[in-house]
Amino acid sequence: MVNVGVLGATGMVGQRFIQLLDKHPDFEITALAASSRSAGKRYEDATTWYLNESMPESVKDITVCETSPEAMSNDVDILFSSLPTEFAAKVEPEFAKDYVVASNASAMRMVDDVPLVIPEVNPEFLDLIEIQQKNRGWDGFIVTNPNCSTIALTLTLKPIYDAFKINKVYVSTMQAVSGAGYNGVPSMAIVDNLIPYIGNEEEKMESETLHLLGNLDGTDVVNADFSLSASCHRVGVIDGHTEAVFVELDKNEDIADIKNVMVNFKGLPQELDLYSSPKNPVIVKDEDDRPQPRLDRLSDNGMAVTVGRLRKDAAMDNSFKYVLVGHNTIRGAAGASVLNAELINKKIL
Amino acid sequence: MVNVGVLGATGMVGQRFIQLLDKHPDFEITALAASSRSAGKRYEDATTWYLNESMPESVKDITVCETSPEAMSNDVDILFSSLPTEFAAKVEPEFAKDYVVASNASAMRMVDDVPLVIPEVNPEFLDLIEIQQKNRGWDGFIVTNPNCSTIALTLTLKPIYDAFKINKVYVSTMQAVSGAGYNGVPSMAIVDNLIPYIGNEEEKMESETLHLLGNLDGTDVVNADFSLSASCHRVGVIDGHTEAVFVELDKNEDIADIKNVMVNFKGLPQELDLYSSPKNPVIVKDEDDRPQPRLDRLSDNGMAVTVGRLRKDAAMDNSFKYVLVGHNTIRGAAGASVLNAELINKKIL
Amino acid sequence: MVNVGVLGATGMVGQRFIQLLDKHPDFEITALAASSRSAGKRYEDATTWYLNESMPESVKDITVCETSPEAMSNDVDILFSSLPTEFAAKVEPEFAKDYVVASNASAMRMVDDVPLVIPEVNPEFLDLIEIQQKNRGWDGFIVTNPNCSTIALTLTLKPIYDAFKINKVYVSTMQAVSGAGYNGVPSMAIVDNLIPYIGNEEEKMESETLHLLGNLDGTDVVNADFSLSASCHRVGVIDGHTEAVFVELDKNEDIADIKNVMVNFKGLPQELDLYSSPKNPVIVKDEDDRPQPRLDRLSDNGMAVTVGRLRKDAAMDNSFKYVLVGHNTIRGAAGASVLNAELINKKIL
Amino acid sequence: MVNVGVLGATGMVGQRFIQLLDKHPDFEITALAASSRSAGKRYEDATTWYLNESMPESVKDITVCETSPEAMSNDVDILFSSLPTEFAAKVEPEFAKDYVVASNASAMRMVDDVPLVIPEVNPEFLDLIEIQQKNRGWDGFIVTNPNCSTIALTLTLKPIYDAFKINKVYVSTMQAVSGAGYNGVPSMAIVDNLIPYIGNEEEKMESETLHLLGNLDGTDVVNADFSLSASCHRVGVIDGHTEAVFVELDKNEDIADIKNVMVNFKGLPQELDLYSSPKNPVIVKDEDDRPQPRLDRLSDNGMAVTVGRLRKDAAMDNSFKYVLVGHNTIRGAAGASVLNAELINKKIL
């Protein structure tokens, strides 16, 4: 068993980390860090628990510590981070001197020597770890996973990208409120309403997706060579991001072939049979009215992305379109970091 | 005063007709037709009223008649129709022998000699009326308005189309539940959920928009010459369709110029100062988080379309994107028919 | 293993039966009955599945049969019924000639020789089975469970009723939309709204509760001797009924003692360790803002009722008040019938 | 025209004040006060506007001032206050030295010499103004209106209380999210959920109602002599509080008589024909499924309370029950203060 800790343990994604790590065959939670307001308290006393699944017994009595390497006891190897961006930028490098940091924060994602990884998509980017450690003289390192809406999109684009040539992608999202944290979206903003804006979300989707589908050329990532435009919106759904995707290829492909590459897509986690890996990263449904976030977000424990309405785009040359649903706090956040850590644990540690 | 009637008077759009026609300076409701279940009853007794605005006193005592020319008393000149498609296809032509039918039904929209009109966009299509009457030997005629999501989109594209050259449009909608009628969307389908499919909606948007922006060449409509692809979704909003729009032009244009043509857009209804015409068909907001359906749907009594997040599309050449909100049962349905009738009343009757 | 079937298998409660019976240690689904529209089809093809949990593999290939004893194959012992009231009244007695019918329908609940049972509350009412079989000459029999909102209320009143003397109970409900079936509540009725009426619900709560807490005196049930008034309302929650309960006792009791009897309440299912029985039928939470339907409905797999805000009623003599949440389609419907069947299987069959 | 100002002008209730005062025949807004963050800015620039109705043109250019008598220009007579409780307790008395303060804040409601008034219920409590001014040596004074849920309840109880003898009242509320302010209720708390707790709300309802229905005996208010117990809950509705009310009288009364006194109820505002007074303070609907917040909250511009489901309580002696809906930020907040001010303007100033 590898001892692990969670940074930002009382927040929404922190709670998901705890839920996913509870009863994990390889990882055992031994440290929970949060703000100084929570430090020193039992986790149960420090936390307002928001998840439908109840708080695991195993963490209730853990004493929350402050979020600094000094406050962290030594018996931890991997730290999962769901820290806010600015704080992550400051503190994750300090932890990385001694620990493996598997981070869901956006702070370090686009830093040159920090791997931004989806295990099914670009596991080879983990080669950057060695460079990172050398550059910085760290014993530990930082590995990051992408933004929630990016992960779901990229998992569905990867098999397309490998089999065909993509020219352009347009994506319009309908994102769940949990993505903004428990207090992020007031009910006045979302009952009988939607919000057509999520700060920095479009920029993240547009840059991270091309990075993830790019190639690692020595120490540099060369972005994938197509154009991607995103429009991001918040709707009154608790969990599960929905995305409408329009894809233009360089030539006409049969829709059955496109479905085929999605359905048959497997990656390294499936090959290695990692504990959190879904049987199929992408599930394709044929019903007209799927995917729906409430019905499909928990497919394969929230780790699979569900695609539906896959159809030729009659209006556009060489084009097709589809809708996807992915669980934003499992596959799109905590589960992504855990899967990264499982891969690292198997291949690197 | 012109006497008017409503076909499908007890339904959701029928109620909107009644609300919009109440206190209208030119039109007076003298006939209300509905199914045989309602016929013979006072309107108030026949109807479960769904609108936030209360039922106008003036219609409560009108006796509902059946939906056939025989059952209709003679003192009516214009009939507003919100009949279901199949029934409209059968009965609207019968009414058109003697009456002007301003229809929100989709049945006759794409018929060659039936004008599909948005007064600000293609009022010249009303020239088809003469051809229609000659073709069919009718004293009356049928004029139709487009689908709810088409109207809002087309109003925003019209000034762009006139000023620049559009290559491609992608649109992803987040549509209100009222568009499906009172019983159309179960709450189980929409609470903590959304439905990524609306039957025939994408086809209507794709065909009607190009038709409306086309030219009337004698007896034929020549479609606008660009490509448009739609993906349509239902979200938990009562009224107000939201649409994310991506536009590719043939060359690079300044975003200020694009905003300018939208803001300054006026059409024939504004020129003629028609009673229901909004001061500006398109309102452009600068706030990051607008338009929102709950806050913007009733702009200019629900007859204006609100645009926001108008921005260059950095990812795509010669492209920009924006979000719009339009009231689906006012500007997108009943109000559209009423504005058509006001134009006809001024120019033709 | 006892072979079981589900009547009304494609509906909302029917799907819950299937979910709860899947992997059940004592019961195996061998028959699924539905309307003639579904009969003859594979269950997967006949059903639009509505639950968040996916359809169990084990039922997908079962051929749906019509809902009549003739259509039912013989290898079934217990039938779970979620039939609509009128149809249940007609067809359940026909099935009861040969089968054990564990019914969630309201049709037969208040019939003299039909036990209406919550296993933790009045298991002794099962003695009516012998009388029922004798009266009617049946080899099988019918046992019923109460209405969803009644079950949750009665489970919390039972320990109070046993320990103290209740004078009056007022209950005001906030009920989930799933209680009305998938198409029961339109989204237009519940988005930014609530409906202050549920047909027959108040009458059921008022009569069933006193019946369940009554005594079986030979062949007759003598109702519990207190007054109960209900006001029932539908709110925009998918699953989980919430009820605000005001109780007047005949004398002043310490709130700690009241909490104590609730917390320590156990019944026959706990004693017999029945598979579906919750560890504690009533869970009492101390947080100010609990119970909440989304967070508490699945307590103990949806079979426990969660109580919160238990407090003295300072305004009323000898009174206290509390709020409860119970899962309406698990503890309040399918799970109730299954627990009845488990008790029957252990004690009677 | 009386010049008026709004304290707390940028908040939710402050915006309602502005909406209700716009185009008011007797009042003209000349001052808007808010926090120092807003002070010095144009109102339009200082405010994120939340109401469906758009911001009145007349206030956009008013320069927001700080919330202190020194910062207030002199040309104001009446100040409407929607300040937070603690701040109101400190600053309202300072303003009252020179100004009439019509306050929606709870801070001063239960202070001995401060009238807590609903004009239809207890206008005679305004006699306390003279005492208050004498006690404190103020030229101005403070008058308060009750809590939102109290106002709606008390308006419906007043005609009952006057005509019959009430023993007990139980009330269970389903309150709108706007009552907590724009950021008060996170969407995570209310989508597919409800919150069974509102801080201090039950205490306010229980104390204020009996106070309002009491008698002013010289300088003291003698509370009404019956018992009232409240249980308060937050549901996913934007505006409009719904309350289920159970009433026990001292003897059996005919339900038709009870309805009669509600329907015929009029108070001083109706007699004086005050601008904001509803034609009938209480509207009684006969439909089974009314009142509904979305459909009934705006009755008589949001100033009437709508009652429905008025019925004998068969389970309880001498009892009846009903459901009410009242607009919480109009009749229950800003509109209540404005009506108080209209009465003061007519009778006292």
DSSP output for A281-304: SEEE--STT---HHHHTTGGGGTS
CB pairs under 8 A between A and D: 57
Q: How confident is the model at residue D74 (pLDDT cuts 50, 70, 90)?
A: low
Return the percentage of chain A with pLDDT > 70, whole number: 100
Return the percentage of chain C with pLDDT > 90, whole number: 97
Interface check D189 vs B, CB under 8 A: no
Q: Is the pLDDT at D206 greater than 70, yes or no?
A: yes
| Mean pLDDT in residue range D38-44 | 96
For residue A183, the chain D residues in CB contact (below 8 A) are 183, 186, 188
Interface check C40 vs B, CB under 8 A: no
* Residues A238, C294: C-beta atoms closer than 8 Å: yes
Q: What pTM was estimated for this model as a whole?
A: 0.97
> pLDDT for D77-95, tens place per residue?
999 999 999 999 999 999 9
Say if the ipTM goes beyond 0.90: yes
Interface check A183 vs D, CB under 8 A: yes
| Mean pLDDT in residue range B153-175 | 98
- What is the spatial distance between Cα B315 and Cα B336, in angstroms, rounded to a whole number? 36
Looking at every residue in chain C, the average pLDDT score rounds to 97
Alpha carbon of B13: minimum distance to chain D alpha carbons (Å)? 17
Q: Is the pLDDT at B82 greater than 90, yes or no?
A: yes
Torsion of CA B326, B328, B330, B333, to 10 degrees: 130
Interface check A168 vs B, CB under 8 A: yes
> pLDDT for C314-347, tens place per residue?
999 999 999 999 999 999 999 999 999 999 999 9
Q: Which of B50, B54, B298 sits opposite D52 (nearest CB)?
A: B298
Closest to B189 (Cα-Cα) out of C186, C295, A306, D237: C186
Return the percentage of chain B with pLDDT > 70, whole number: 100
- What is the spatial distance between Cα A206 and Cα A202, in angstroms, rounded to a whole number? 6
> pLDDT for C192-234, tens place per residue?
999 999 999 999 999 999 999 999 999 999 999 999 999 999 9
Q: How confident is the model at residue C74 (pLDDT cuts 50, 70, 90)?
A: low
* Residues B294, D238: C-beta atoms closer than 8 Å: yes
Predicted local confidence at residue C40, as pLDDT: 95
Return the percentage of chain A with pLDDT > 90, whole number: 97
> C148, C211, C232, C327: which one is catalytic?
C148
> pLDDT for D152-186, tens place per residue?
999 999 999 999 999 999 999 999 999 999 999 99
- What is the spatial distance between Cα A48 and Cα C31, in angstroms, rounded to a whole number? 45
For residue C182, the chain B residues in CB contact (below 8 A) are 186, 188-189
Predicted local confidence at residue A231, as pLDDT: 98
Alpha carbon of D127: minimum distance to chain B alpha carbons (Å)? 39
Interface check C197 vs B, CB under 8 A: no
Catalytic status, residue A327: no
Q: How confident is the model at residue B73 (pLDDT cuts 50, 70, 90)?
A: confident
Peptide bond into C293 cis (omega under 30): no
* Residues A52, C191: C-beta atoms closer than 8 Å: no
Interface check A238 vs C, CB under 8 A: yes
Q: How confident is the model at residue A53 (pLDDT cuts 50, 70, 90)?
A: confident
* Residues A187, D187: C-beta atoms closer than 8 Å: yes
Alpha carbon of B216: minimum distance to chain D alpha carbons (Å)? 39
User: For residues C182 and C15, is the Cβ–Cβ distance under 8 A?
Assistant: no
Interface check A183 vs C, CB under 8 A: no
Predicted local confidence at residue C52, as pLDDT: 86
> pLDDT for D93-117, tens place per residue?
999 999 999 999 999 999 999 999 9
* Residues C236, B177: C-beta atoms closer than 8 Å: no
| Mean pLDDT in residue range B219-234 | 97
Torsion over CA: A120, A124, A130, A132 (sign): negative
Check residue B301 and report its DSSP letter.
G
Residue of chain A minimizing CA distance to B324 = A196
Catalytic status, residue A232: no
- For tokens 């008060």, the residue is D184
Q: How confident is the model at residue A253 (pLDDT cuts 50, 70, 90)?
A: very high
Q: Which chains touch B (3 or more CB pairs under 8 A)?
A: A, C, D
Interface check D298 vs C, CB under 8 A: no
Q: How confident is the model at residue A52 (pLDDT cuts 50, 70, 90)?
A: confident
> D148, D211, D232, D327: which one is catalytic?
D148
Predicted local confidence at residue A278, as pLDDT: 98
Q: Could you tell me the CA-to-CA distances from A343 to A120, A212, A329, A349, B102 in Å, in that order? A: 10, 16, 19, 9, 64
For residue D48, the chain A residues in CB contact (below 8 A) are none
> pLDDT for C79-107, tens place per residue?
999 999 999 999 999 999 999 999 999 99
> pLDDT for B12-27, tens place per residue?
999 999 999 999 999 9
Q: Which residue has the higher pLDDT, D54 or D91?
A: D91
Q: Which of residues 273-292 of C touch D (CB under 8 A)?
A: 288-292
Q: Is the pLDDT at D253 greater than 90, yes or no?
A: yes
What is the 3-state secondary structure of chain C? CEEEEEECCCCHHHHHHHHHHCCCCCEEEEEEEECCCCCCCEHHHHCCCCCCCCCCHHHHCCECEECCCCCCCCCCCEEEECCCHHHHHHHHHHHHCCCEEEECCCCCCCCCCCCECCCCCCHHHHHHHHHHHHHHCCCCEEEECCCHHHHHHHHHHHHHHHHCCEEEEEEEEEECHHHHCCCCCEHHHHCCCCECCCCCHHHHHHHHHHHHCCEEECCEEECCCCEEEEECCECCCCCCEEEEEEEEECCCCCHHHHHHHHHCCCCHHHHHCCCCCCCCCEEECCCCCCCCHHHHCCHHHHCCEEEEEEEECCCCCCEEEEEEEECCCHHHHHHHHHHHHHHHHHHCC
3-state secondary structure of D126: helix
Check residue B212 and report its DSSP letter.
H
Q: Is the pLDDT at B285 greater than 90, yes or no?
A: yes
Interface check C13 vs B, CB under 8 A: no
Predicted local confidence at residue C129, as pLDDT: 98
Q: Which of C192, C294, C295 sits opposite A191 (nearest CB)?
A: C192
